[in-house]
Structure 1
Amino acid sequence: MAIPKKHHSSTLPLVLTFITFYCLNVVTSVTYSTTFTYDRFDSDTDLLMQGNAVFSPNFALELTKERNGIPQSGSVGRTFSTFPIVLHMSGRVATISTSFVLNISQPNSTATPADGITFFIAPISDLPPRSGGGFLGLFSNQTNSSSTTSIVAVEFDTYPNLDIGDPNYRHIGINVNSIKSSATSRWNFRSGEPLNVTITYDPSLKRLRVVASYTNGNNHVDLAYRIDFGSVLSEQVYAGFSGSTGKYAEVNHVNSWSFNSTLVV
């Protein structure tokens, strides 16, 4: 298999963080924007890696452990972008748009895949202990639904863990400070096929929306949930991914990622 040539222009994030002042009489507005794009992932990629997360030889973000392409059970990994997001200030909340491509697979067609990947927005923190399996690298028994937890996530859950509140089917869910999803949509998971995902947040509607479909356009999911980011999340946050395996395992890859947030105060 040919190895793609390395292009620093596509590997290094295209980062734009700026503050613009608009003056009209006594009115002043300030714009905070964070933008980056990763067309692929390698050692030049500026991410904070936790647990078993590594950069794979095929330029993907590998969230859980593999051995010769075979997924390993009992693995958990997480990564944060190192670029801060000014999420809200003075009663105003940022608009957010992010797109990424996931590839979740179980090479053994007779084996059960588990447990899934999340995209999340939260302050930077350490990987919680015992956060593998159904906790998806986000929570532990101690931090799940804790009053000190501040996180919003979208989960791509391949295994129903009924003991922690999962529905009894594979699903895409929106989670607020808990591993139990606040909203879910049934997901017809396809092993090894790239899943294209776009997530947007509209502060005027207080609406978080997730649109996901496989490359051929099949199995379209469109899920939305009303949430006030200004009351749930910190003023400054970071975006990232997590993944886990438990008794059963799967390959958990992120192939590419772009992100934009804009706050006008």
Structure 2
Amino acid sequence: MAFYRTNLPTHELVLGMIYTTFFLLLATNINSVQALSFNFTKFTPNALMFPSGITFQGDAQTLNNGVIALTKRIKLPYGTTIPSTGRILTPPVSLWDTAGNGYGVPTDGLVFFIAPQDTKIPPNSESQYLGVVDSKNTYNQFVGVEFDLYPNSFDPNTKHIGIDVNSLISLKTVKWEFASGSLTKVSKAYDSSSNTLSVVVTYANGKFSTIAQIVDLKAVLPNKVRFGLSGASITGFAHDIHSWSLTTSDLKTTASSALDKLQAIYDN
């Protein structure tokens, strides 16, 4: 896409055969934004210790084959359910510098979110609540992009990708043409000059869909935040993360740049 510059933060995801990128178009003249960098091509317990500082919550765990399972992998008898929710989080990073000159970074489904540094799995957040909101409250402080396989009462009546702010009632959605074995690319861009979060979905056949929403991150989130991945299921549906890399840079005279990539697998 012509409006994406090459030096901007990127966030890549593969869900089975799903590929996504994430861009944060940052303000310039950021003076002292905290840098964060890691690169996991395979997950082992030792690799997740300090200094990378990846935090596990709920049922998330590292498997023997070197992937992270966000939810329990269980073969359940027909008609039975077991709630399972798991998340992984980066260490805290700063969204903007202390002078306030701009932004510094960046069987139901997954959600990629930015939340306050003390974020925890809310109670009653299994299944359609994706581990980010309490079913009895349905509000929490986060900005996210959800990949939702199952339409619930507050969802459009289709598999969809949604832009969420403090709620899973998405501000904007686009149909998710999820199909096993097909490649879908989802590009998300945030432009801090216009406070616009955009999502572009490109399918294997070359067709694409776009959505955009104005979201002022500085008004919604505190300065100290974590990037997170959250999955939830009640049917033993697997949400597996196969690789993840993230880099945020401190560039004193230009926009901070970041690279955030991950690979995930959906398995029945």
TM value normalised by structure 1 = 0.69
Q: Which residue does 1:131 correspond to in 2?
A: 125
Runs (4+) off by over 6 Å: none
Q: Which residue does 1:157 correspond to in 2?
A: 148
1:203 paired with 2:192, answer yes
Question: What is the CA–CA distance in structure 2 between the aligned matches of 1:135 and 1:41, rounded to whole Å?
Answer: 26
- 8 Å CA contact 1:187–1:221 kept in 2: the answer is no
The one-letter code of the counterpart of 2:229 is: F
The one-letter code of the counterpart of 2:150 is: Y
Q: Which residue does 2:95 correspond to in 1?
A: 87
Q: Which residue does 2:157 correspond to in 1?
A: 168
Larger radius of gyration: 1
| Structure with a larger share of its residues in strand | 1
Question: What is the CA–CA distance in structure 2 between the aligned matches of 1:58 and 1:219, rounded to whole Å?
Answer: 35
For 2:239, which of 252, 256, 260 is the aligned residue? 252
Q: Percent identity?
A: 33
Q: Which residue does 1:4 correspond to in 2?
A: none
Q: Which residue does 2:39 correspond to in 1?
A: 37
Question: What is the CA–CA distance in structure 1 between the aligned matches of 2:207 and 2:228, rounded to whole Å?
Answer: 25
The one-letter code of the counterpart of 2:114 is: I
Q: SS in structure 2 opposite 1:243?
A: strand
Deviations 1:143-181 (A, max 9, x none): 423xxx32111100000011xx11111100111001111
> What displacement does 1:198 show?
4.3
- 8 Å CA contact 1:96–1:202 kept in 2: the answer is no
Q: SS in structure 1 opposite 2:35?
A: strand
- 8 Å CA contact 1:96–1:201 kept in 2: the answer is no
Q: Which residue does 1:186 correspond to in 2?
A: 175
- 8 Å CA contact 2:73–2:236 kept in 1: the answer is no
Change (3 A) 1:250 1:206: same
Q: Which residue does 1:235 correspond to in 2?
A: 223
Change (3 A) 1:181 1:191: same
Deviations 1:64-100 (A, max 9, x none): 1103799x74211111112x21102433332546xxx
Question: What is the CA–CA distance in structure 1 between the aligned matches of 2:129 and 2:30, rounded to whole Å?
Answer: 44
Question: What is the CA–CA distance in structure 2 between the aligned matches of 1:28 and 1:213, rounded to whole Å?
Answer: 32
Q: Which residue does 1:106 correspond to in 2?
A: none
Change (3 A) 1:205 1:262: farther
Over the aligned positions, Cα root-mean-square deviation in angstroms equals: 3.1
Question: What is the CA–CA distance in structure 1 between the aligned matches of 2:241 and 2:185, rounded to whole Å?
Answer: 10
Q: SS in structure 2 opposite 1:93?
A: coil
Q: State the number of aligned residues.
A: 215
Bigger shift: residues 129-138 or 201-210: 201-210
The one-letter code of the counterpart of 1:93 is: G
